[in-house]
């Protein structure tokens, strides 16, 4: 069975850990529990006629406390950029992450997840924000770790893309 490392990158409190828990364990907690450093989870998925072990790296949200390490992305086959649809500033952090990945000369498949789509009336990301990213070639999926909307789809999509690339 092949193994693939994927990373979840984004600002703090955008829901990276919740997305993984929803995907791996099918559970969700309303309580915010910050991640320090990295936590690795595993899940075997069946994609394109083969079993793939996903090594899912949940990486600490980017802020003043966090330290970025090149090792985080080493060996990664793809990554998710995660933003919070209620916090436009988290898009800027996602862009910073994207720049960091590029600076490491890594050309990896990635998908932007606009999380917390269940908070319908609190969405502050404008369509223009997303349109700008789409024109840059970014694939965008709206997700909710709380309801599970599009979470499996997002992981399946990234897995497909990284298998296609390999």
25, 50, 89, 136: which one contacts another protein (CB under 8 A)?
89
Cα separation values, 113 from 26, 31, 106, 155, 166, Å:
18, 20, 20, 10, 22
Which of 8, 13 has the CB closer to another protein?
13
- Among 116, 76, 110, 106, smallest CA distance to 94 is for 110
CA 90 – CA 96 distance, rounded (Å):
10
Which of 41, 152 has the CB closer to another protein?
41
Residue 140 binds another protein, judged by CB under 8 A: no
74, 102, 136, 160: which one contacts another protein (CB under 8 A)?
74
Q: How many CA atoms lie within 13 A of 139 on its CB side?
A: 13
**DSSP-based three-state secondary structure for 52:** strand
Angle between helices 16-25 and 151-165 (to 10 degrees): 90
Which of 47, 100 has the CB closer to another protein?
100
Residue 10 binds another protein, judged by CB under 8 A: no
> How many residues make contact with another protein (CB under 8 A)?
38
Binding site for another protein (CB under 8 A): 5, 12-13, 32-41, 55, 61, 63-65, 67, 69-72, 74-75, 87-89, 92-93, 95-96, 124, 126, 128-129, 131-132
């Amino acid at each position: 069975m092949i193994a693939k490392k994927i990373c979840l990158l984004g600002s703090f409190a955008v829901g990276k850990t919740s997305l993984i828990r929803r995907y791996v364990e099918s559970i969700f907690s309303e309580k915010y529990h910050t991640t320090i450093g990295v936590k690795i989870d595993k899940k075997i998925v069946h994609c394109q006629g083969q079993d793939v072990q996903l090594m899912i790296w949940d990486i600490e949200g980017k802020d003043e406390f966090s330290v970025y390490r090149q090792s985080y992305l080493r060996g990664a086959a793809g990554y998710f950029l995660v933003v919070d649809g209620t916090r436009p500033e988290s898009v800027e952090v996602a862009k910073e992450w994207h720049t960091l990945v590029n600076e490491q000369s890594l050309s990896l498949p990635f998908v932007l997840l606009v999380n917390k789509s269940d908070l319908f009336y609190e969405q502050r990301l404008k369509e223009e924000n997303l349109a700008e990213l789409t024109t840059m070639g970014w694939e965008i999926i709206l997700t909710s770790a709380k309801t599970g909307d599009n979470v499996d789809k997002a992981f399946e999509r990234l897995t497909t893309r990284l298998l296609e690339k390999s």
